[in-house]
Amino acid sequence: MVAKDLISEIIPSLKTSDTGQTALNWMEIFRISHLPIVNNQDFLGLISDADIYDMNQPDEPIGNHELTLLKPYVTTDQHLFEVIGLASRLKLSVVPVLDSKNHYKGLITTSDLIRHIAGISSMDQPGGIIVLEMVERDYSLSQIAQIVESNNIRVLSMYITSPSDSTRLEVTLKVNTTDLLAVIRTFERYNYEVKTWVTTNDSIDQFYSERFDLLMKYLNI
């Protein structure tokens, strides 16, 4: 999925002749904190609600003020992940999109980005989540997938996170079932550390409660 497929059709751009109050009104309507300023097809930069409040004259045209505008943008053929990276780094509520001739084509909202991320990662699909923790050298995608599929379960999505100062990984799996008991037991037989899980199936909690009770009985002997 590329940037041109994510462009919002409803949020307008500003002109230098628009007032700061007009910009604030649109930001409130669309629940965003940035808007692009565009003259004809030329992208002049992003203005934020903080910029407008700093003017102290919201009823004057934006073009009457000297503004140091950020000019972040993506091109129409950049991937969804690149759009997310830019929005995250600069804490943007919208990301402008330009074509190969640097003409403004529209913008992408972070709320739309979240919706698309949920779609491609199957977050909006029913199922359970398992989080494994391991050292980097023990990571094997093929083995993890084999363990899941050996229980007649399908991996819907997976992502890996690792703190910059750590050699450990967290592998988060979204699977197509909420009955996670069998696959968790299989992971543990293969000496994987199951850090946490999310499911609506109470049998998981019951299983670990029973395991805890057995441990307490053993320690009391």
Q: pLDDT (tens digit, 9 = 90+) per residue, 79-115? A: 988 998 899 889 999 999 999 999 999 999 998 888 8
Report d(CA 197, CA 172) in Å as an integer: 9
- CA dist 41 → 26, 38, 73, 110, 132 (Å): 20, 6, 14, 23, 49
For 32, counting Cβ atoms within 10 Å of its Cβ (0-12 exposed, 13-18 middle, 19+ buried), the class is buried
Q: Residue 156 in contact with residue 122, Cβ under 8 Å?
A: yes
Q: Amino acid letter at 10?
A: I
Phi, psi of 15 (to 5 degrees): -110, 160
For the cut 60, the answer to whether the pLDDT of residue 141 exceeds it is: yes
- Percent over 70 (pLDDT), the chain: 87
Residue closest to 109 by CA, chosen among 2, 28, 9:
9
Per-residue model confidence (pLDDT) at position 99: 94
For 65, counting Cβ atoms within 10 Å of its Cβ (0-12 exposed, 13-18 middle, 19+ buried), the class is middle
pTM of the model: 0.69
Instruction: Work out whether the CA dihedral 142, 148, 149, 155 comes out positive or negative.
Output: negative
Domains in the chain and their CATH numbers?
3-118 (3.10.580.10), 128-219 (3.30.2130.10)
Confidence of residue 221 (pLDDT cuts 50, 70, 90): very low
Q: Amino acid letter at 54?
A: D
Q: Is 108 helix (H, G, I), strand (E, B) or coil?
A: strand
Average pLDDT, the chain: 87
